[in-house]
């Protein structure tokens, strides 16, 4: 079973539309990160959220960490074709080895021009 569940798994939208990607778990995380991955390359970090209820904005991207630190969301406003990629959430658990970073199942986003 996947510790971090992402939804939707696939998302195809038109340029200019808004979208939200979700990352959910039954476990509590000390921090949660969002990565974006291009085909054939390694993931690149977008943001890290640490505090429950925290909201971070990165241009058209808004990231939120749930109050209970079990879930997170990524909202993109006015999506552009350059936003196309695989979005991955990853969390460090509060219990167990803090050195382990657990990844979600990923959301493949395609933004059509």
Partner 1 sequence: SQTIHQWPATLVQPVGSPLSLECTVEGTSNPNLYWYRQAAGRGLQLLFYSIGIDQISSEVPQNLSASRPQDRQFILSSKKLLLSDSGFYLCAWSPPGQGAGTEAFFGQGTRLTVV
Comparison of 34 and 79: residue with beta carbon closer to partner 1: 34
What pairing do the DSSP bridges indicate for beta strands 107-112 and 19-24?
A: unpaired
Element (H, E) at 93: strand 85-93
Nearer to partner 1, 42 or 113 (CB): 42
Nearest approach, Cβ of residue 63 and partner 1 (Å): 13
Q: How far apart are CA 76 and CA 87, in angstroms?
A: 12
User: Would you tell me which residues interact with partner 1 (CB under 8 A)?
Assistant: 2, 4, 6, 30-31, 33, 40-45, 48, 50, 86, 88, 90, 92, 97-106, 108
User: To the nearest whole angstrom, how small is the minimum distance from the Cβ of residue 48 to partner 1?
Assistant: 5
Contact indicator for 44, 37 with CB cutoff of 8 Å: yes
């Amino acid at each position: 079973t996947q510790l971090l569940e992402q939804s939707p798994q696939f998302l195809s939208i038109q340029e200019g539309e808004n979208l939200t990607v979700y990352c959910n778990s039954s476990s509590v995380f000390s921090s949660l990160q969002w990565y974006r991955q291009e085909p054939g390359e390694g993931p690149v970090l977008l943001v890290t959220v640490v505090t429950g209820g925290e909201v971070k904005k990165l241009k058209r991207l808004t990231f939120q960490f749930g109050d209970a630190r079990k879930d997170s969301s990524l909202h993109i406003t006015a999506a552009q074709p350059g936003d196309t990629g695989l979005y991955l959430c990853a969390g460090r658990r509060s219990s167990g080895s803090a050195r382990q970073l657990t990844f979600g199942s990923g959301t493949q986003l395609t933004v059509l021009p």
